[in-house]
Structure 1
Amino acid sequence: MNGERVFTGSIPVLADPRQAGDASGAEPAPLFLVSDSQLLFWGDEEGRFVDRIAACTRPGAPRAAYLGASNGDQPDFYSIFLAAMEGIGPAECRMIPADPCASELAYLEAADVVLLAGGSVERGWRAFEASGVREVVERRYHAGAVLIGVSAGAVQLGTAGWPEGDADAAFPTWGLAPFVVDAHAEDDDWAALRAVVRARGDGARGIGIPRGGGLVYHPDHSLEAVRHPAYEISMANGELVTAMILPPARAER
């Protein structure tokens, strides 16, 4: 690998200029990007990961919305979401389907927590564009709601998605995290992520989140790997550069 580097702790990244000048005046909450659902039930000696999510919500029982369009609104995956939300205490939860009605969009418009489920990146994204969910999620983010992207949902919160097996057909996504995201693709050394970053040219950046791991994109535009190291792949001077972002060191007890 060319130019391999290792970072520990929070890593600064450039802000997406589209996020400037938010009229609401609210500071966005951290973005929680996870490779799969494991982190929603994981904790260490310093506490549970889900407690970090709860700490970003306003006082009282949060209103939580689940977007399952990427997996076809399968109820089994919604059940996992409900179990995870039990970890943050009393919460009002609702699944917003791929083709939501007016009342479901209104619920999403007032949600404190929004989880974007895994599945097919392209399937979910096309549904969000067609239904108006895309714009609602953007508004919720800039109003301070907590967004959690799981697998495909994490990819959608980055700058690009692609049909499974076809990285050459990448399409733009939310870009709330100003880099390309991929999840649980360490077995093929992040081949699709590398292809998408390379195609975007110098200055492009991608982050790969391995199984069981996560990434927090903080309001100050720094990155924090959670549980497992994340992989950073970027283009510089026509070459791919690979780096490791390690989770912050834990204090000795």
Structure 2
Amino acid sequence: MTTPRILATSGGIRPGKWTYWAPAPLMLEAIALSAHPGAARLAYLGTAMGDRPDDGFNITQAFAGTSTEVSVVSVMPHPNVADLREHLLAQDVIWVGGGSVAGLLALWRLHGLDVILREAWEAGVVLAGVSAGSICWHVGGPTDSFGPELRGIDNALALLPYGNGVHYDAEEQRRPLLHSLVGDGTLPLSYATDNGVGLLYEGTEFVEALSEREGAGAYRVERTADGSVVETRIEPRVLPGA
């Protein structure tokens, strides 16, 4: 039986030597977890940044000359494939880029991608992504979708029954806001990642944290019976190439 997997990250892409982007260890791990790691089909969804053509070019160039077949799936200004469901269910990995998670969710629901992505996950397609592409699989989390002052969202896809914090060590508003959202009950038990760290889930169970940066961490944030919030550091397994 196929195991549904999600790799939710604050990393996965780095500057390339000869290309603008190159796949970093977390993205390569998503491919390694897939059904066909030696000849994977990877769909890139850049909805959160408005489906910028440059991003599609950059991800395609990042895998040029490799055994990974990349397709870029856009919904702006309209879907660029004839059948979104058929195309996405034929993939091994779906990678979601960063940007506005609020905008991403609105557009996905408009085009039925919320239903399609759940079906793909249940069928064994590895769902993965960075930043907005991490929060989207959870209940919600802190986001800069509405401006420089971070706000919480709690209406993400909720394939995973947890909150999510990204860029935990890079943006000072992230940690206190996640604690507040967990503390007041807006979000349930939550997992957070420093830059360069990912969270691997099988089904809805957290399995392990993975890192492409030495010294970076993951965190479990939960509300206790007395209403206080406790954060516990999770030491990641450092991936080759970190």
Which TM class, normalised by the smaller chain length? 0.7 to 0.9
Correspondence 1:121 to 2:101: yes
Find the aligned partners of 2:190 and 2:210 in 1 and give their Cα distance: 17
Find the aligned partners of 1:197 and 1:182 in 2 and give their Cα distance: 11
Partner of 1:174: 157
Give, in angstroms, the shift of residue 199 of structure 1: 2.5
CA deviation profile, 1:6-45 (whole Å, cap 9, x unmatched): xxxxxxxxxxxxxxxxxxx6321x2111113447734xxx
Whether contact under 8 Å (1:65, 1:96) holds in the other structure is no
Correspondence 1:239 to 2:215: no
Correspondence 1:146 to 2:117: no
Question: Residue 108 of structure 1 aligns to a residue in which SS?
Answer: helix
Give the aligned residue type for 2:99: G
Give, in angstroms, the shift of residue 86 of structure 1: 4.9
Correspondence 1:103 to 2:91: no
Provide closer, same or farther for how the CA distance between residues 41 and 57 of structure 1 changes in structure 2, counting only shifts above 3 A. Answer: same
CA deviation profile, 1:53-87 (whole Å, cap 9, x unmatched): 22322336333222111111112323343345459
Find the aligned partners of 1:142 and 1:87 in 2 and give their Cα distance: 30
Find the aligned partners of 1:87 and 1:147 in 2 and give their Cα distance: 23
Whether contact under 8 Å (1:53, 1:146) holds in the other structure is yes
Correspondence 1:230 to 2:228: no
Partner of 2:19: none
Whether contact under 8 Å (2:161, 2:188) holds in the other structure is no
- Structure 2 residue runs without a partner (length 5+): 15-21
- Bigger shift: 123-132 or 157-166? 157-166
**1 or 2 for the larger relative contact order (CA 8 Å, sep ≥6)?**
1
Question: Residue 226 of structure 1 aligns to a residue in which SS?
Answer: strand
- Structure 1 residue runs without a partner (length 5+): 1-24, 43-47
Question: Residue 172 of structure 1 aligns to a residue in which SS?
Answer: coil
Question: Residue 105 of structure 2 aligns to a residue in which SS?
Answer: helix
Correspondence 1:79 to 2:63: no
Partner of 1:34: 9
Provide closer, same or farther for how the CA distance between residues 31 and 239 of structure 1 changes in structure 2, counting only shifts above 3 A. Answer: same
Q: What does 1:139-218 align with in structure 2 at a 5 Å threshold? A: 139-161=119-141, 163-164=145-146, 165=149, 167=151, 170-186=153-169, 187-188=171-172, 190-200=175-185, 204-218=188-202
Find the aligned partners of 2:209 and 2:63 in 1 and give their Cα distance: 22
Give, in angstroms, the shift of residue 204 of structure 1: 2.2
Whether contact under 8 Å (2:139, 2:161) holds in the other structure is yes
Give the aligned residue type for 1:53: A
Give the aligned residue type for 1:197: V
TM-score (norm 2): 0.77
Runs (4+) off by over 6 Å: none
Whether contact under 8 Å (2:7, 2:200) holds in the other structure is yes
Whether contact under 8 Å (2:44, 2:70) holds in the other structure is no
Find the aligned partners of 1:245 and 1:140 in 2 and give their Cα distance: 29
Find the aligned partners of 2:166 and 2:204 in 1 and give their Cα distance: 23
Give, in angstroms, the shift of residue 197 of structure 1: 1.4
Once the two structures are aligned, what percentage of the paired residues are identical? 25
CA RMSD of aligned residues (A): 2.8
Whether contact under 8 Å (1:65, 1:108) holds in the other structure is yes
Find the aligned partners of 1:139 and 1:243 in 2 and give their Cα distance: 32
Find the aligned partners of 1:63 and 1:209 in 2 and give their Cα distance: 26
Give, in angstroms, the shift of residue 112 of structure 1: 1.9
Count residues with an aligned counterpart: 218
